[in-house]
Every structure is written in C-alpha cells, then in structure tokens.
Structure 1
C-alpha cells in the first residue's frame, strides 16, 4: 500500500500566504525524503484554503523540479471552473515534467463562493463537468488535420483548429481519477482503467462512524466494473495501485491519548476556519443558482472524525489500516497540514510524517 501527503493547510490572512507557501514546499520535501509516494493538492479559490491551490498545477510544477522521483496528484480538480483548453494544456505540461507520474482527480463539486467567482451556475456544475471532460478527450485526440473542436459548455467557449501543445507524455493522456461516489463516475474510471477515489460516506449523509462499510461498498462497485471492462491483469493492477482513500486529517503520536488531545486542538482551529468560510458561502447562496444541497457536519463531532480522521499511536493506526489494505486500497492520502498553518501545526504535521514513515508505512510495504 502506498502513502501520500495531502497539502491541505489554510491561510487566515494575506500576510500569512507567503509563509504558508514556503512552509508547504519544505513539508513536501520532507515527505519525499521520508519515503512517501506522492504529493497531492486541492483545487480551491478565494477562501484561504491552501492559497497555492488557486493554481495547483503551477505549484506542482515547482515541486516536480525539486522532487523528480515523486508522483503528484490533485484531490480534486473542480472541472467546471477550468476552460477545457487550459485544463488539457496544463495537464500535458505536467505530464511531461513528471515523466507521466501524474494523477488528476476530477469532480464537479465546490463551494458556491468559488462558483460565482468563475461565472458558473451551481445547478449546472455536473453537466458542465461532463461536457468539459468530453471536450478534453476530443482535444487530447485531435491531430493537426482533424476537424476543429468546437467548445460550448456554458461559461467556456472556443474553436480549436490545431493540436494541443505539448503532446502528453502518457499514451492518450495523464491518468484521471474520478471520485467513485456515483455509478457514472465509477464507470468512467473503470472503463478507462484509471484509479479512483473511494469515499467513506454515502450521500445525503456526509459523515458517520462506520467508514469501512461505505469504503467497501464503493470499492466493490468500482472493482467489479474494472473486471467487467476486460482490461488486462496488468492494467487492473496499475489502476488499483493508485486507487485512493483519503483522510482529511491524519495525526500520529506516541500514545492514543496524546494523539486524540493534539487532534482535537487541530480540529478546533480547523472548525473556526470553516465557520469563517461558511459566512462567505452564505452570501453566495443568496440566490437559487447557488444553493447547496448538502452540508458537511461540524468537524468536532464524532461523525466527522469517524469519516475523515485517522489518529492514534503508530500501532493503532496500523491496526486501523489493515482492513483497507486487505480490501485492496492502493494508496492512503494523508492530510498532514489540516487547518490554519501555525508553527505548532507544522510541528505536529512533521511529527506525523516521521511516525508514519518509521512505524506505520513499513507494515504495508512489500517485502
């Protein structure tokens, strides 16, 4: 089983942005030195959630030059916010710069505040995402003499006469990673032989204390579709190798009691940041076009912790992860900088990296 780091810190003020960028670059380098397999980043705008996430492609290119052996991923790219041409161009450039070590999570969901900033009607986000992905496939396949690709997906317009440059490094294009929450998304991943994100909940409830039940259900659907798609055993193995389960917060300490106490301090600061962001989203939801239909539980509740957190001593974390490894999850994505990025938060994040590397990851590496 692989282990990857999710850079998901928050900046609470403009004067904190530069320090956050520098600190996360160092954190990523530390993770690489400790044997983690990949660095993943979110795709967010305006709200202080990972300021570099306003262009994660650019930050990934910066890190790729420093860490050429690492894989890089996005969890997840909000496809409706990206013009299909820029989406394809940036992925191709990163695919070249990383020698194909790229994993592009794709989804349609984001916050109303982000949607209105890009002129996207929240109600149309799913349809725009599907249309943009279909156009992206046309752009990846287009040769110089092929007919023009017409782009008309709501907020995005255009007509592409030539090919996309540069060409992709990976045959076809870099691996995309849908979230296997809906049947259509799971089938998209399985049909193409791509990895998938396997969630630990089933809407409309976003949270709960039985995450493995949901993970097993979603993974089972995706795995069955992979088998039905008639891929070679090697292609199935490549897809499962990066099939990912995500923890928004991973925190490891010497004892379970220490880990719980430190985790609750992290979550208290995280929840304060979430509540501030919710006030801006409430303004965005002042019209019907941007009404959300779901709500994330308070991060201080056991429901949220049960779904999104992995914590405890190294021994406890190993025992927790064994069923996921046995199920066939290929990659554990670890949020190690969750919440506002203070000096203390960085210390705790580095502590988690070290203990995962020294006392958790060896239990899941192939001999």
Structure 2
C-alpha cells in the first residue's frame, strides 16, 4: 500500500498567502524525505482555499524540480473550469517534467462560486466536463496535418489547426484518474488501464459512519471492469497500485485520546473556514443555474468524521487501514494540513507525517531485504 500527502490547507487572509506557500513546500519536502510516494493537490479558486490550488499544475512543476523522485497527483481537477487546450498543454508539460509520474484526477466540480467565476453554468457542468475530456482526447491524438479540432463547449471556444506542443512523455498521454462513482467514470478508468479514486459515500449522502461498505462496492465494480478490459498484467497491477482512497483529515498522535483531542481542534478551525466559504457559495446559488444538489455535513458530526477522517494512535490507524489493504486499495491519500495553516496546525501535520512514516507505513510496505539495503 502506498501513502500520499494531500496539500489541502487554507489561507484566511492575503497576508497569509506567501507563508502558506512556503510552509506547504517545506511540508511536501518533509514528506518526500520520510518516504511518502506522492504529493496531491486540489484544484480550487477564490476565497482562500489553498492559494497554490489556483494553479496547482504550476506549483507541481515547481515541486517536481525540487523532488524529482516523487509522483504528483491532482484531487481533483475541475474539468469544466479549464479550456481544453490549456488543460492538455499543462498536463503535457508536467508529464515531460516528471518523466510521466503524474496522476490527473478529473471531475465535474462541486462549487457554485467557482462555476460563476469562470462563466460555467453549474447545471451544465457534468456535460461540459464530459465534452472537455472528449475534446482533450482529440487534441492529444491530433497530428499536424489532421483536420482542425473545433471547440464549442459552454464557455470554451476555439479551433486548433496544428498539434499540441509539447508532445506527452507518456504514450498517448498522462494517466487520468476518474472518481469511480458513476459507471461511466469507473468504465473510463478501467478501459484505459488508469487508476481511480474510490469514494466512501454514495450520493446524495456525502457522509456516513460505514465508509468501508461504500469503498468495497465502488472498488469491486471498478476492479471487475479493469480485469475484464483485457490489459496486460502489469497495466492492471499499476492501476490497482495507484487506486486511491482519500481522507480529508489524517491525524496521528501517540495515544487515541491525544489524537481525538487534537483532531477536534483541527476540525473546529476547518469548520470555521468552511462556514466562510459557504457564505459566498450561497451568494452564487442566488443564480438558479448554480444550485447545488447535495449538502456536506458539518465537519464535527459523526457522519463527516466517519467518512473523511482517519485518526488515532499508530496502532489504531494500522487496525483501521488493514481491511482496506486486504481489499486491494493501492494508495491512501492523507490530508495532513487540512484547515487554516497556523503554526500549530503545521506542527500537528508534521507530527502526523513522522508517526505515519515511522510506525504506520512499515506495516503496509514490504521490508527491504538486508542484502539489498546494504547495497
């Protein structure tokens, strides 16, 4: 089982933005040194939701130069917010810079404020996302002398006469990584031999206290499709090895009691940030074209904690993760900086990195034979 770090911290004022970028860079560097496999970033805009997420591809390129051994993922790119040409160009450049160590999570987005900021009709976001992905495939496949690719998709317009430059490093293009919630998304990942995000809830409910039930259902559907797709064994193994279950908040302490007390401090601060963001989303929803169809529970409820949090002593965390490893989940994505990134929050995040690396990850990674280690 792999372990990856999700950089999902928030800035609460413009004066905090620069320090947040510097602190997240140090946190990512620490994670790489401690043996984590990948750094994942969200794609969000406005309202202080992690300033680097306004162009997480640019930030990933910066980190890639500093941490060349790491994989980089996106959880997830809101496809309707990106012109398909820029979507393909950014991915190709980053694919080249990382020698193909990319995992491009894709989804249709969830936030009305972001939709109206980019001129996207929220009700049409699913269709715009599907069309953008289809256009992206045309752009990736286009040779210099092929007919022009015509783009007319919601706010996105254009006519591409030549090819996209640079060419991708990965044959065809970098791996996309759909959320395996809908059959079409699971099938897209499976038929292409790509990994998937495996959700721990079934809409319209966004939380719950039985996440494993949902993970097992969605993973089972995806794995069956993947194995029926006729890929070579190494393609199946790579896809499963990066198939990801996400925790928005991971917090590890020496004891369960300490972990729970510190978790509640983290979640109270996180919920304050969410309430501020919800105020702007409510303004966005005054436009009937941008009404959400679901509601996220309060982060301090059992439903939200049960779905989105992993916490406890190292022994408790190992016990919790064992069934996921047995099921076949390949990658655990750990939100270690969730919420406003104060000095105390960063200290707690670094504490979690250390305890995961020293006491949890060894339980799920094969030991290196002493003869190999000596070399």
> So what's the TM-score if we normalise by structure 2?
0.97
- Structure 2 distance, partners of 1:91, 1:287, is 33
Match of 1:228 in 2: 228
Match of 1:198 in 2: 198
Match of 1:260 in 2: 260
In the TM superposition, what whole-angstrom CA distance separates every residue of 1:317-338 from its partner, at most 9, and x where no partner exists? 0010000000000000000000
Residues 1:310 and 2:310 are matched in the alignment: yes
Structure 1 segments, 4+ long, off by >4 Å, are none
Deviation at 1:287, TM superposition (A): 1.6
1:109 match: secondary structure? coil
- Structure 2 distance, partners of 1:88, 1:366, is 36
Question: Structure 1, unaligned stretches of length 5 or more?
Answer: none
- Structure 1 distance, partners of 2:110, 2:200, is 18
Match of 2:358 in 1: 358
In the TM superposition, what whole-angstrom CA distance separates every residue of 1:149-169 from its partner, at most 9, and x where no partner exists? 111111100010111000000
Residues 1:72 and 2:72 are matched in the alignment: yes
1:105 match: secondary structure? strand
> Is this contact kept in 1: 2:110–2:292, CA < 8 A?
no
- Structure 2 distance, partners of 1:15, 1:235, is 46
Match of 1:324 in 2: 324
- Structure 2 distance, partners of 1:129, 1:285, is 20
- Structure 2 distance, partners of 1:331, 1:160, is 37
- Structure 1 distance, partners of 2:256, 2:26, is 27
- Structure 2 distance, partners of 1:287, 1:339, is 28
Aligned counterparts, 1:231-250, within 5 A: 231-250=231-250
Count of residues in correspondence between the two structures: 367
Deviation at 1:265, TM superposition (A): 0.3
Match of 1:120 in 2: 120
In the TM superposition, what whole-angstrom CA distance separates every residue of 1:200-240 from its partner, at most 9, and x where no partner exists? 00001110000000000000000011012111111110100
Question: Structure 2, unaligned stretches of length 5 or more?
Answer: 368-375
> Is this contact kept in 1: 2:190–2:226, CA < 8 A?
yes
Deviation at 1:71, TM superposition (A): 0.2
> So what's the TM-score if we normalise by structure 1?
1.00
- Structure 2 distance, partners of 1:71, 1:267, is 28
1:172 match: secondary structure? coil
Deviation at 1:145, TM superposition (A): 1.1
- Structure 1 distance, partners of 2:166, 2:257, is 52
Match of 1:9 in 2: 9
Deviation at 1:110, TM superposition (A): 2.4
- Structure 2 distance, partners of 1:269, 1:186, is 34
Aligned counterparts, 1:1-367, within 5 A: 1-367=1-367
CA RMSD of aligned residues (A): 0.5
